[in-house]
Amino acid sequence: MLTAAESVAAAIFGIQIGTLCDRIDPDKTMLASNLIGAVSTAVLFALLYFHFISFISLILLMLIIGIVTLGFDISRTGYTVALVPKNRIPHANSLIEGANAVGEGIGPSIGGWIFQVAGAAFSLLFDFVSYIVSSLLVFINIWSKKESGLYEQIIEEEQTDTSSDSDYRNGFSYVFSHGVIRSIALSAGQFNFFTSAFFAVYYVFTIHNLHINATEVGLAATFSGIAGIVSAAATGKIIFHLPSEPLYIYSLALPSIAAMFVSLSSLFTAQHFIVLISVCFSQFLWSFAVNVSIILGESIKQVITPENILGQVSSAERMIALIAEPIRAIAGGFCATIIGETHTLYITVLGLGSSILWTLGKTGILSFKKPKEW
């Protein structure tokens, strides 16, 4: 539901949020997003605890949380650029994705345990505490910058910066006018569409066709989490040692190969161990490649995009990636109903693999010049 709420937030408020992030310091935007998220979570807790929750209030609160999640993610991009030297940007993005991978792996387990022990309402306190701790960390940085007089320097630089053209103040204008950013945004948009369609069918296919039980599905998910952590640790070094242009293309192509492993596993259902190994390897390869793609794409965007429009460009990219989120899974499920899970998986494999076509033009990712600092 949070993903759907973030999709709606991106579709309706994406550009406004990006503009706000550009006008306000990224850390202040992150702090505001955290505090609003904490208040929204506290309100949701109260409604659940006192049994006043309704479907409309739940949707509204999830929409607010989706908006602040989008605001936090967009402002974090600018925050990284402002805080980290250019030669450390890939490493910083790797650490961020690594932290996300750990959180996605541990968070549901802790949340599920709290839900079982204390109930739905008190399980929200885990999210509330997360917002508060994050707010404190951001506030400490804001205070230290204020004490050092860095804010006055930033304000002075913003007042003297006239390099941006009015057309570039629109995130979409910049995304579609810059070949490298356009190729990243459109390839990621198509990739995300077919990713959602793939996973809408994946779980049904593995259980019904491959006869994998819930424990084995969890094992495959564990390999995915491990790959996320491994890729976060390795991607920074990989980016420094390999050319960025083909690396990004390979990172988009590998998930389609991983998806093919799942599809072809149906040929070996008599050898269950082979099927299980294939699915686990598929999830590992998928997660590793996707994390490399995310880290590299984010790093390239941060290096290329002028800092004063980074929020708008990030919001435009997020809109392209998320705007079709509500219909992707439905499309995958509909195709599976009409033509079957196996054929639907092969279609998603083609869709995933063909996303690299957006990167192959002369002005696309192949025209990117790797910074000397990398």
| pLDDT tens by residue, 25-76 | 788 889 999 999 999 999 999 998 898 888 888 888 888 888 888 889 989 9
Average pLDDT, integer, range 332-342: 86
**What is the CATH class of 168-367?**
mainly alpha
Residue 87, pLDDT score? 86
For every residue of 252-280, DSSP letters joined together read HHHHHHHHHHHHHGGGGTTSHHHHHHHHH
Band of pLDDT at residue 355, cut at 50, 70 and 90: very high
pLDDT at 157 over 60: no
Q: Which helix or strand (DSSP H or E) is residue 89 part of?
A: helix 89-118
Looking up tokens 């002075």 gives 156
Would the CATH topology of 2-166 be identical to that of 168-367? Answer: yes
Q: Please give the residue that has the higher pLDDT: either 8 or 230.
A: 230
C-alpha count within 13 angstroms, C-beta hemisphere, residue 275:
20
Contact 320, 185 (CB under 8 A): yes
User: Which helix (H) or strand (E) covers residue 78, if one does?
Assistant: helix 55-83
Residue 37 has a pLDDT of 94
What the block records as the tokens of 71 is 């605001």
User: CA 148 to CA 276: how far, in whole Å?
Assistant: 56
Between CA 20 and CA 74 the distance in angstroms is 10
Cβ atoms 262, 206 nearer than 8 A: yes
Residues near 79 by beta carbon (within 8 Å), at least 6 away in sequence: 26, 27, 30
For 4-8, 215-219, 253-257, which range has the lowest pLDDT when averaged over its residues? 4-8
Q: Which of 4-13, 202-211, 301-310 has the lowest mean pLDDT?
A: 4-13
Question: Looking at residue 254, what is its pLDDT?
Answer: 97
Could you tell me the maximum CA-CA distance found in the chain, to the nearest angstrom?
Answer: 70
Tokens 């204390």 belong to 118
CATH entry 3.40.190 includes domain 2-166: no
**How many CA atoms within 13 Å lie on the side-chain side of 155?**
6
Higher pLDDT, 13 or 283: 283
Specify whether the backbone of 340 is left (phi greater than 0), alpha (psi in -120 to 50) or beta: left
**Per-residue pLDDT at 168:** 42
For residue 278, what pLDDT is reported? 96
**What pTM was computed for the model?**
0.82
Say what the pLDDT of residue 123 is: 77
pLDDT band at 147 (very low <50, low <70, confident <90, very high): low
Domain ranges of the chain: 2-166, 168-367
- pLDDT (mean) for 115-144: 84
pLDDT given for residue 109 in this prediction: 61
Tell me, what's the pLDDT at 32? Answer: 93
Identity (one letter) of the amino acid at 145? K
Q: What CA–CA distances, in Å, run from 219 to 94, 104, 284, 308, 350? A: 24, 15, 11, 44, 26
Is 86 or 210 the better-scoring residue by pLDDT? 210
What pLDDT does 65 receive? Answer: 86
Mean pLDDT, residues 233-249: 92
Closest among 324, 359, 354 to 249, alpha carbons compared = 359
What integer best gives the mean pLDDT of the chain? 85
- How many other C-beta atoms are found inside a 10 Å radius of the C-beta of residue 155? 11
Out of 1-10, 97-106, 334-343, least confident range:
1-10
End-to-end CA distance of the chain: 38
With contact defined as beta carbons under 8 Å apart, do 251 and 296 qualify?
yes
Q: What is the pLDDT of residues 295-322, one digit of tens each?
A: 999 999 999 999 888 988 998 888 887 7
Residue 263: band (very low, low, confident or very high) from pLDDT cuts 50, 70, 90 = very high
| Under 8 Å between Cβ of 351 and 211 | no
